[in-house]
Amino acid sequence: MSLNNNKGDRKMMLNLYKKKPVSIYMHEGCGRINIKFCNVQMKLKMCQFKLFNNYLINKSRQITSKTPQVELLLVQNNLTVTVSLKDFLQLMHGVNSVINKNLNLKN
């Protein structure tokens, strides 16, 4: 985790996870977690973030040794995103890491 403060912006940004191509962060006082991956940006409330984690876990159960890519159905505008297996696993690891590091996000 790291804190960034842009001089023109008085709010602090807390980087919760940053390993390409996944970036997870939140702005001080915002109450929403921002996720960027594969040209997709999502702003989620804490409860939505936990549900997204559960969704990724359930999707991971469908992966076999022959799975080259994973389709994610994102609720907003029924957007379907196809990501490589490597990017999916990185996203799942990032979201899970944030859940495990932040006690207030655990069930």
pLDDT on residue 19: 87
- Strand (E) positions, 1-107? 2-5, 12-19, 22-27, 32-37, 40-45, 69-74, 79-84
pLDDT interval class at 1 (50, 70, 90) = very low
User: What pTM did the predictor assign?
Assistant: 0.81
pLDDT in tens, 13-31: 788 888 888 999 988 777 8
pLDDT in tens, 25-77: 988 777 889 999 988 899 999 889 999 999 999 999 999 999 999 999 987 66
